[in-house]
Amino acid sequence: MSFDVAAIREQFPILKREIDGNPLVYLDNAATTQKPQCVIDALVDYYTTCNSNVHRGAHRLADEATRRFEAARDIVKDFIHAPKREEVIWTTGTTEGINIIANGLSQLLSTGDEVIATGMEHHANLVTWQQACKASGATLKTVPVTDDGELDQTAYEALLNERTKFVAFPHVSNALGTVNPVKAMTAKAKEFGAWVLIDGAQGAAHCKVDVQDIGCDFYVFSGHKIYAPMGIGVLWGQASLLENWPVWRTGGEMIATVTLQNATWNVLPYRFEAGTPNVGDAIALGEAIRWFSALDHHAVVAHEKALLDYATELAENFDGLTIIGNAKHKIGVLSFVMDQGHPADIGFLLDRQGIAIRTGDHCAQPLMTRFGVPGTARASFSLYNTLEEVDILFAALKKVRSMLA
């Protein structure tokens, strides 16, 4: 299978848009990816032909909706190589998946226990553990980040001990693009019997995810960063843990029996799926993953690497520009600052030229503090971006530089 970027782009209607007469150059993929026509069609088709509430309907539409909804769960299971379909829990996104686990953790830990997160977290994978530690009396420790934007593995090993109960880290940093050695880090945590959660928000669309190979206990990601709609995501967890993990939201669907004073809980995955689920978006996520999985993964990775390598080369030769994050293993993200102006000004002036990037702290304030910057300008790449778009970005940055000088 070869990788035809022009044919891929044809499938994304939004990429035909113009901004003030300029062709849209969409380089904000770490924030959210665009959606191929087949995903948009899957959503429209669901609402056009079989919109219905799942699992309890005694009619054809409910049967069809349930079948498509549960088939999407199987697609996710295969995609991340989960051992069991009931381990795939629908959430609203990465943030909710982490909160479900943090809510339970706050009830399972006590004073003297330790939790490890890292200095490169998105706030979703940090503030949650801060709160769980505050509620339980446990202590939060964080792995420092090196000057290159990698996790300091020596420091990580030094933090691990028999009090370590839980370890959380990102698969890929949203702010720097660093790909972390998740399998090795998981193995080290497992030497001390700690549970491991991986924030896969930026991993799922760029890295092969095999939860059994990685050996982690929990893996979370968001649909909207992997070509699916917003409002749907996945929490995967080992059944043996999730079966006993404290429940999160309570209400319909997650119960087995209810009396006026008491309730018992449903089996997985429904134990964590209180209320009417987001059926249409789950089906669309299934379609997005089906579409993405049909591509040649190696070719996708090679293409995205070529984009980042080229952008990095141009950035390194661009006067006044400093790249933040030079990890050996990086994907998808070029974060930078410029001597001539604040990241917000860079973003504004690029937008005038049709180029969409993100500026600011990227929900990673401790990481920005670590690098001594208020924020960065971040161009983030996806499989539909082209080398020509990288050229357009740098030609536009030249204009920005002279405007700000």
Q: Give the footprint of ligand PMP on residues 48-107 (CB under 6 A).
A: 93-95
Beta carbon nearer to ligand PMP, 30 or 254: 30
Q: Give the footprint of ligand PMP on residues 338-367 (CB under 6 A).
A: 363
Least Å distance between CB 398 and ligand PMP? 29
Is 281 a binding residue for ligand PMP by CB under 6 A? The answer is: no
Least Å distance between CB 225 and ligand PMP? 7
DSSP for 248-313, please give it: -S-SSSSEEEE-SS-EEEPPTTGGG--SS--HHHHHHHHHHHHHHHTS-HHHHHHHHHHHHHHHHH
The interface region with ligand PMP, picked from 57-65, 109-117, 120-128, 388-396 by CB under 6 A, is: 120-128
Judge whether 76 and 289 are in contact, CB under 8 Å: yes
Judge whether 136 and 105 are in contact, CB under 8 Å: yes
Beta carbon nearer to ligand PMP, 235 or 400: 235
Query: Measured on CA atoms in the order 308, 312, 313, 318, is the torsion positive or negative?
Result: positive
363 has catalytic annotation: yes
Beta carbon nearer to ligand PMP, 126 or 397: 126
Beta carbon nearer to ligand PMP, 170 or 237: 170
Residues in the chain: 405
Least Å distance between CB 121 and ligand PMP? 7
**In which region does residue 227 sit, left (phi positive, over 0), alpha (psi from -120 to 50) or beta (all else)?**
left
Beta carbon nearer to ligand PMP, 222 or 238: 222
Least Å distance between CB 199 and ligand PMP? 5
CA dihedral 127, 377, 202, 90 (to 10 degrees): 60
Give the C-alpha separation, 221 to 211, whole Å.
12
Active-site pick, 133, 207, 216, 363: 363
Query: Which residue in the block uniquely carries the two structure tokens 């987001």?
Result: 278
Least Å distance between CB 228 and ligand PMP? 11
Give the C-alpha separation, 205 to 162, whole Å.
34
Least Å distance between CB 91 and ligand PMP? 8
Tokens of 395: 């030609």
User: In this chain, which of 36, 104, 149, 170 binds ligand PMP, going by CB under 6 A?
Assistant: 170
Least Å distance between CB 177 and ligand PMP? 11
- AA identity, residue 68: R
User: In this chain, which of 202, 278, 359, 376 binds ligand PMP, going by CB under 6 A?
Assistant: 202
Q: Is 169 helix (H, G, I), strand (E, B) or coil?
A: strand
Judge whether 203 and 174 are in contact, CB under 8 Å: no
Number of residues that bind ligand PMP (CB under 6 A): 13
Tokens of 88: 């795939």
Judge whether 262 and 256 are in contact, CB under 8 Å: no
User: In this chain, which of 125, 180, 335, 382 binds ligand PMP, going by CB under 6 A?
Assistant: 125
β-bridge mates for residue 25, sequence order: 355
User: In this chain, which of 122, 141, 271, 330 binds ligand PMP, going by CB under 6 A?
Assistant: 122
Q: Give the footprint of ligand PMP on residues 172-201 (CB under 6 A).
A: 174, 199, 201
How far, in whole angstroms, is CA 26 from its chain's centroid? 18
Beta carbon nearer to ligand PMP, 81 or 123: 123
Judge whether 165 and 194 are in contact, CB under 8 Å: yes
Judge whether 102 and 253 are in contact, CB under 8 Å: no
Beta carbon nearer to ligand PMP, 98 or 138: 98
Footprint of ligand PMP (CB under 6 A)? 93-95, 122, 124-125, 170, 174, 199, 201-202, 222, 363
Catalytic positions are: 363
